[in-house]
Amino acid sequence: MKRKQLMALLLCGVMAASFGLTACGEKKEASQETAEANAEGDTVDEDGKVNGVFYEKGLPVVDEGTYTFSIFVDDSSSTGEFYMLEQIKKQTGIDVDLQYFPYEVAQEKFSLALSAGDYADCIGGWCLKPSDILKYGVNQKIFVPLEDYIEKYAPNIQQLLDEVEGVREAVTAPDGHIYSIPYVLDAPKVDYSIGINTRWLENLGLEMPTTTEEYYEVLKAFKEQDANGNGDPNDEIPLSFDPNNKHINYLPGYFGISCDNNGMTMKDGELMFGANTEEFKEGIKYLNKLYSEGLIDPEAFTQDLSQWKAKGGQDLFGSTMMYGSGDFMPYNAGEIPDWLPLPILKSENCDNPVWFQDSNGTSVLKNQVVITNNAKDVGAIIRFWDTVYDYDNSIQIINGPLDDVVFKEEDGYHKIDMTTRSEEDQEKYSWANLFPQSLPHNIPLGFKLIEEPATYQEKDVQDEAYKDNLTGTIPPYWMPLDQADTMAEIETAIRDYIEQKTAEWIAGQADIDAEWDDYCKQLEAFGLEDYVAMRKETAATAAPAETAEEEKAE
């Protein structure tokens, strides 16, 4: 369950291209030369208290009732009750004013709050983007450089910077400062894909499709027959999409180009823009055909997450874009779900289809939590996060309390079969109710939780199934400082326009053939050429060393 839970944290497509590396040793030197003496003024009294507020070492961090800070974060919790947040508050003595909102609301509030100067002490979650680190950190100094505080007060976080390869480089901004606490994860190579309901295939005596034509025939059979076997031949939805991660742009991979939300992809080892290619157009036309014949969920572009989950839970999906089937059809340890990744389909003109590769197996998220200049006693907040990054705390943040549902033994951490516990406990200790899920914690790479019975590793199966047809990962990058605002605007314009037009074309609200040339011109008018040039330049300086090594290994 561990890996799946972890990776389910990667809920938002916005993350797809947002982790990255900057070059190397020069940056480190720059950091040492230009670092502001932001923690140097701190004084320690005879009780070991810094500035009379927080203890330099040990727990609690503060005397109870003396210190509070606020965290702004996106989270979809209905109760706001987080078992492990309460535990960390108890350990540190720090009270937290947690301001959480659903992702879309948070995204809106985030920009408004920052432009109005009315923002929380800590901002975390998926709303933060690398361009925000440049804008509000490097340029506006609203985000506080953290490297001195980390060095002084946060041994757990410092260890990640010092000992895990590539982490310091990834989180060091172009001005040499570190504005965010690094969040390092094992990551699947494939984040989202189409999963297909194997029970429905069996019910109808169908083979797993391998071409776009066969898939079309399967979807038609799903629609026309009572594939879920409930007696109603009309309630089947052949193809749906996770509303927060539709990843429409991945699907033209069946025709040769699979790109991210910004339209970027890799082809033959080269970074390129893919959303104006013939292959891309062909992919969208194929989806339009599916839609026009009622094979795509009519609510694909309007439903919210809870509607999608509800339909999935009622066994109405024959296939869907998904992170994993556990997102809508919970299964228990020891069980194998009725879902498999749809093979990467060949099409008439494409014998060598591709799928977008999200990671090389590890992700360093460089924008998951920052501290703002509204914060008082930054050192206390850093110590709070260092407590979160304590290994045992982080294990519990994902899995539930130690010596209750997780047990530390010589060969590792063992988790009990949660189905043996009351429904109340299962709910209380579900990963979404342990800690705000978009906030970072410490995940030792390669860590595996030992579960009895073992949980089916759906993402491993998917990576294995897709491994020969992945695009290669897009090189990470920071936008150049002097162009960051302009480039972020171009990127947003391009991303939103692709999303809008593909939805219209698929749903038949506009005709792709009639509009294609204008669409390509409009992309150019947004500044596509400059944007792609910038991406290529910054990628060139940030080519990650592991790519070369991986190639050698293969």
> Contact positions toward Ca ion, by CB under 5 A?
226, 228, 230, 232, 235
DSSP strands (E only) in 145-208: 183-186, 193-197
Name the pairing type of β-strands 319-322 and 406-409: unpaired
- Minimal distance, residue 223 CB to Ca ion, in Å: 10
Min CB(465)–Ca ion separation in Å:
28
State how far the Cα of 429 lies from the Cα of 423, in Å rounded to an integer.
10
Q: Please, what is the Cα angle at 503 between 498 and 505, to 5 degrees?
A: 95
Minimum distance, C-beta of residue 308 to Ca ion, in the bound complex (Å): 18
Q: How far is the CB of 225 from Ca ion (least distance, A)?
A: 8
**What whole-number distance in Å separates Cα of residue 307 and Cα of residue 319?**
16
DSSP code per residue over 222-274:
HHHTTTT-SS-TT--BSBEE-TT---GGGGGGGGT----TTSEEEETTEEEE-
Closest contact distance (angstroms) between CB of 341 and Ca ion is 24
Cβ 231 to Ca ion shortest distance, Å: 7
Task: Give whichever of 296 and 388 is closer to Ca ion, judged by the CB atom.
Answer: 296
CB nearer Ca ion, residue 33 or residue 232? 232
CB nearer Ca ion, residue 320 or residue 368? 320
Quote the least distance from Cβ 234 to Ca ion, whole Å. 7
Question: Hey, what's the torsion of the CAs at 87, 90, 92, 98, to 10 degrees?
Answer: 70
Nearer to Ca ion, 51 or 225 (CB): 225
> Which two three-digit tokens encode residue 423?
């429904």
| Distance in Å, CB of 315 to Ca ion, minimum | 8
Beta-bridged to residue 372, according to DSSP, are: 143
Strand ranges of the sheet holding 406-409, from the earlier edge strand across to the other edge: 406-409, 412-415, 450-451
Nearer to Ca ion, 232 or 468 (CB): 232
Whole-Å CA distances, 266 to 56, 260, 279: 48, 10, 14
Nearer to Ca ion, 232 or 268 (CB): 232
Question: In one letter, which amino acid is 471?
Answer: T
Please return the burial class of 302, using the count of CB atoms within 10 Å of its CB with bins 0-12, 13-18 and 19+.
exposed
Beta-carbon contacts of 489 under 8 Å, excluding residues fewer than 6 positions away, are none
- Compute the least distance from the CB of residue 209 to Ca ion, in Å: 20
Q: The sheet that has 319-322: what strands, in order across it? A: 240-241, 319-322, 193-197, 339-341
Cβ-based nearer residue to Ca ion, 226 or 515: 226
Nearer to Ca ion, 230 or 302 (CB): 230
Helices and strands: H and E segment counts in the chain: 20, 19
Q: Which is nearer to Ca ion, 232 or 410 (CB)?
A: 232
24 Cβ partners below 8 Å, 6+ apart?
169
